[in-house]
Amino acid sequence: MDVNQAKQEHLLALKVMRLTKPTLFTNLPVTCEDRDLPGDLFAQLMREDPSTIKGAETLMLGEMLTLPQNFGNIFLGETFSSYISVHNDSNQVVKDILVKADLQTSSQRLNLSASNSAVAELKPECCIDDVIHHEVKEIGTHILVCAVSYTSQFGEKLYFRKFFKFQVLKPLDVKTKFYNAETDEVFLEAQIQNITTSPMFMEKVSLEPSMMYNVTELNSVASGDEGESTFGKMSYLQPMDTRQYLYCLKPKPEYAEKAGVIKGVTVIGKLDIVWKTNLGERGRLQTSQLQRMAPGYGDIRLSLEVIPDTVNLEEPFDIVCKITNCSERTMDLVMEMCNMRSIHWCGVSGRQLGKLTPGASLSLLLTVFSSEQGLQVRCKLPEATF
């Protein structure tokens, strides 16, 4: 939609067109069996149709390209390109022509003009052309403001503007979930849904971790020398389809032993998503910094570091527990062992563990045995009192 600010007749004409790639021509094939009344008529017509593929006439996609018939949709993360042309429709020589293009969003106004210098003169039937590009980073209403100022041959300074209003839509719906492991590992599940009307080729979905974490992608399975994507070789996302991506974050070695630091970390990182649509148009989105709820460890954190997967019935086995002082004061620890119905501790209960300074850790080698067969889903760890 465009609105002229000035109602007078101007010597120059302004035209603005959006630049988009064409689409493949589609047709609706009509077929029938040979014994039906039309016989081979439909097949012959499709063979003679220049828009069909020879030898594959029943495919909807053809060999021809279709030029855009309307403005189309603009999605967040795509590059908006526009062609601006100023033509001298008069029989006069116009001087000092300045063409300016600004993009007004809900939060800012951006200058998209390649050059801010004026053109000395423009002869009749000549034109000034410019192509502007802008990576769209906001959703909602955008207004392209094109302003033209010039001087007539009689020295009169003239000016006019045109406004082109369009909406920027959201292409993807991204939802995230965090899972805190018993250790300091954090698992991130990202659900990405294509909410456009055309399929997408997902070129890259990666997690850029914060400075305290290293990340491991869990979206492939081992197959030979290289991992194979869990989504197959052709990474297409159809309209309204959803994919789930999984990542594991581990604290860097220099932060892993700092319990107080890791305890308060809520910023995990941000997702970087790159896709392509239609004939290779690329889009890119980066989420804001993803934040999780900080785990509530309390003053003392007790975790299992080493435990065997399988043990023999009524045969002692060793486990390694780690006690971390997450408080800001020194703790004097005493360990008390409490047996359960199927798990029994071997050792002395009530023994002194000594003092543990803030942020320090203590590893304990303990011996237990099981009195029942089967999978043990819960085991009560030793109680540390202070």
Distance CA 368, CA 116 (A): 79
* Residue scoring higher pLDDT (22 or 295): 22
Distance CA 161, CA 121 (A): 19
- The length of the chain in residues reads 386
Q: What is the pLDDT of residue 5?
A: 46
Instruction: Kindly tell me if the per-residue pLDDT of 80 is higher than 80.
Output: yes
Q: What is the pLDDT of residue 2?
A: 47
Please name each of the domains of the chain with its CATH number: 12-20+69-169 (2.60.40.10), 180-293 (2.60.40.10), 300-370 (2.60.40.10)
Calculate Rg over the CA atoms of the chain: 34
Instruction: Kindly tell me if the per-residue pLDDT of 304 is higher than 50.
Output: yes
Which segment, 54-58, 99-103, 332-336, 375-379, is predicted with the most confidence on average?
99-103
Distance CA 2, CA 274 (A): 33
* Residue 147 CB partners (closer than 8 Å, separation 6+): 99, 100, 101, 102, 159, 160, 161
CA neighbor of 152 nearest in space, from 6, 15, 12: 12
Instruction: Kindly tell me if the per-residue pLDDT of 386 is higher than 50.
Output: no
* Residue scoring higher pLDDT (220 or 298): 220
Q: What is the pLDDT of residue 127?
A: 92
Residue 77 DSSP label: T
Distance CA 53, CA 343 (A): 72
Structure tokens at 139: 């959703």
94-108, 134-148, 313-327: which range is least confident on average? 313-327
Q: What is the pLDDT of residue 7?
A: 59
Q: pLDDT of 319-354, one tens digit each?
A: 888 887 877 788 888 888 888 888 888 888 888 888
Q: What is the pLDDT of residue 59?
A: 65
For the residues 86-90, what does the mean pLDDT come to?
Answer: 91
* Residue 189 CB partners (closer than 8 Å, separation 6+): 176, 177, 178, 179, 244, 245, 246
* Residue scoring higher pLDDT (60 or 157): 157
For the residues 155-166, what does the mean pLDDT come to?
Answer: 91
Q: pLDDT of 163-189, one tens digit each?
A: 999 999 999 999 999 888 766 788 999
Spatial strand order of the sheet with 213-217 comes to 172-180, 186-194, 242-251, 213-217
| pLDDT band at 234; cut points 50, 70, 90 | confident
* Residue 364 CB partners (closer than 8 Å, separation 6+): 320, 321, 322, 323, 335, 353, 382
* Residue 310 CB partners (closer than 8 Å, separation 6+): none
Q: What is the pLDDT of residue 3?
A: 45
Q: Which helix (H) or strand (E) holds 112?
A: none
The CA–CA distances, whole Å, from 374 to 177, 343, 370 equal 32, 12, 10
Q: pLDDT of 345-384, one tens digit each?
A: 888 888 888 888 887 888 888 898 888 888 876 555 555 4
Instruction: Kindly tell me if the per-residue pLDDT of 109 is higher than 60.
Output: yes
Q: What is the pLDDT of residue 4?
A: 46
Q: pLDDT of 246-285, one tens digit each?
A: 999 888 877 766 655 565 667 889 999 999 987 788 899 9
Instruction: Kindly tell me if the per-residue pLDDT of 221 is higher than 50.
Output: yes
Instruction: Kindly tell me if the per-residue pLDDT of 310 is higher than 70.
Output: yes
Q: Cβ distance 246 to 216 under 8 Å?
A: no
Q: What is the pLDDT of residue 302?
A: 76
Q: What 3-state DSSP class applies to 54?
A: coil
Distance CA 333, CA 351 (A): 9
| pLDDT band at 223; cut points 50, 70, 90 | low
